[in-house]
Structure formats: structure tokens, C-alpha cells
Amino acid sequence: MSDPDTVPADPTPSRTPATPAPPAHARRIRLKIRRQDDPQGSARWEEFEVPVEPGANIISCLQWIATHPTTRDGETTTPVVFDACCLEEVCGACSMLINGTVRQSCSCLIDEYAPHDGDTIVLEPMSKFPLVRDLMVDRERLFHNLSRVQAWVPIDGTYHLGPGPADTPKHQRIRYKLSECMSCGCCLEACPQFNLEPAKGDWDHAFIGAHAISQAHLFNEHPTGGVLKDDRLDVLTQRGGVSDCGNAQNCVKACPKEIPLTESIAAVGRSTTVHSLKRFFSGRASD
């Protein structure tokens, strides 16, 4: 009879988790990926064969490649570098070109893009931002352009400010939709007026982009944020402002959050016209 106080020896030889092998029935798809080791390097294509389960997305395939960095030709390579954080289409980090169209890779389901065994999906980095490596780009200019229009409510300080101004639910609902922007850059990648500007010195004169125009509109409409409205409209009437928009409307089609960007652009366009007239006549009045 065994002693009840004796703990039986753990029969498991090792606690190091092995990478789970894909089930034998998993179908396989191909990922053709544009790769580049550094910003100055030359680009190349690599193809991978990846087993996929129902519900797999592009990020889960890239994670599988990270643990199996071997191309279809059997060459050992490096894991593919990409950006991602939330994995639920909230952070905006994972934008890339998938079969030539910009979108979030975390919400891109393999079952929709490659429904059959052996189907191929092509991945490339966004082209309107400087490349860091492989599928990862530097979106600093996107955030810089938000700072150009002071896309925030100026309430610095640790003291209690009391309740803000009252607002109507209808007005709040309009702003709520605009506030869903996740700074993903899809609207900029799709925009024919927004181009790669490698020199930072050119950023303040190049087209600011639909995201910044829409965020300026959001904060101009905010009961407290509106105190900076004139400063924002000053920027948006200058070179690179709202009049540089060619009205191609690619941005609104590309936005994963379905933000009504063209409505924001039209509203800001009207505001800048009124603003310019006010500036003109107030300048004349002070002559």
C-alpha cells in the first residue's frame, strides 16, 4: 500500500514548452513578404508556407513564422519584423499592405483572404512612412501632424477645474465617432496628396493628412478644446493645410474605423474660409 504523504515523482521529463506542432489536418497557405533589413538596404521577397487553423489572422501567421523562420525553399532566415500591440484593431500599430491594400493585419482573417489550401497572400510595409525593417515603419510624422493642429484639450494642471461646459448628447455622438481614430495611418497611405517626406524639415509644409484635419475638427467642436480653434485654423489655412486635399476620398474608404473623414474635411474647409475672412477684415480694421 502506498504512503498517502508521499508525493509521486513528476513523470514529465521537462517543463520547457515545446512549440506545438500544427495538427496534421491544418491547411497551408503561402505568405509572400517584402523584406528589407534596414532603411538603406535593398528589398527582397521571401515566401513562407504556414499551417492555418480556422480564425487565424495575419499576425498569428507572422508569429508562427517567428518560431519557424524557414522559407518555402528551405532556406533558414530571420523572423519577420512587424509592429502590433492590441491585436483587436484599437492601437493602430499593425497597418500594412495586404494584397496591395492598406489595412490592419490583426483583424485580417486568413479564411477571407486565402480560403483555399495553397492560396497566397502578399504582405508589404506602408509606403508613405520611413521603413524601419521588413513590415515595420516609423509613424512619427503622423503624430507630428497631430501636434501641428494641437489635437488635444488644453487642461494642464493638477488642480480641480470643476465640471466642464454642458454639451448635448447629439453633439457628443458626432465627436465620439471622430474620437475613435487610432492613428493607424491607413488614410494617409491611401491618400494621393500625402507623400513620403524623408526630410523632417519639409513636414510642416507638406499635406497634413485627413487624420489631423479630422482631429482638428473634433477638438474645435469640443466645448473646452475649442479655445484653440483659431490656432488650429491658422495652421490649416497655410501650405499643407486643408486646401491641399484633392478630394479623391480614398481616405474615407481606407479608414478601418469608418470615420467620416470627408465630412470633417468639408467642415474644416468651411471653417477655414470664414477664418480667413475674419483674419482679413480684422487685419484691415487694424490698418
Q: Which residues between 191 and 210 bind ligand SF4 (CB under 6 A)?
A: 191-193, 210
Among 87, 98, 174, 227, the residue binding ligand FES under the rule CB under 6 A is 87
Q: Which is nearer to ligand FES, 181 or 267 (CB)?
A: 181
Candidate segments 19-27, 80-88, 110-118, 273-281, binder of ligand FES by CB under 6 A: 80-88
Among 30, 63, 69, 90, the residue binding ligand FES under the rule CB under 6 A is 90
How long a stretch of residues is the chain? 287
Please count the residues of this chain forming the interface with ligand SF4, following the rule CB under 6 A. Answer: 29
Return d(Cα 273, Cα 279) in angstroms, integer. 10
Contact status, residue 167 vs residue 245, Cβ threshold 8 Å: no
Return d(Cα 135, Cα 61) in angstroms, integer. 14
Q: Which residues between 93 and 132 bind ligand FES (CB under 6 A)?
A: 93-94, 104, 106
Contact status, residue 103 vs residue 191, Cβ threshold 8 Å: no
Return d(Cα 261, Cα 267) in angstroms, integer. 10
Instruction: Rule CB under 6 A: say whether 121 interacts with ligand SF4.
Output: no
CA distances from 83 to 43, 136, 244 (A): 18, 6, 30
Q: Least Å distance between CB 171 and ligand FES? A: 28
The CA-CA-CA angle for residues 95, 100, 103, to 5°, reads: 25
Partner from ligand FES, ligand SF4, none contacting 52, C-beta within 5 to 8 A by type: none
Partner from ligand FES, ligand SF4, none contacting 86, C-beta within 5 to 8 A by type: ligand FES
Partner from ligand SF4, ligand FES, none contacting 245, C-beta within 5 to 8 A by type: ligand SF4
Among 141, 148, 257, 275, the residue binding ligand SF4 under the rule CB under 6 A is 257
Which string of b and e fits 167-201 if b means at least 16 CB within 10 Å?
Answer: eeeeeeebbebbeebbbbbbbbbbbebbeebeeee
Can you tell me whether residue 223 is helix, strand or coil?
coil
Virtual CA dihedral for 60, 61, 65, 68, nearest 10 degrees? Answer: 80
Return d(Cα 61, Cα 94) in angstroms, integer. 13
Q: Which is nearer to ligand SF4, 150 or 262 (CB)?
A: 262
**Interacting residues with ligand FES (CB under 6 A):** 84-87, 89-94, 104, 106
Residues making contact with ligand SF4 (CB under 6 A): 92, 181-187, 190-193, 210-211, 214, 245-251, 254-255, 257, 259, 261-262, 265
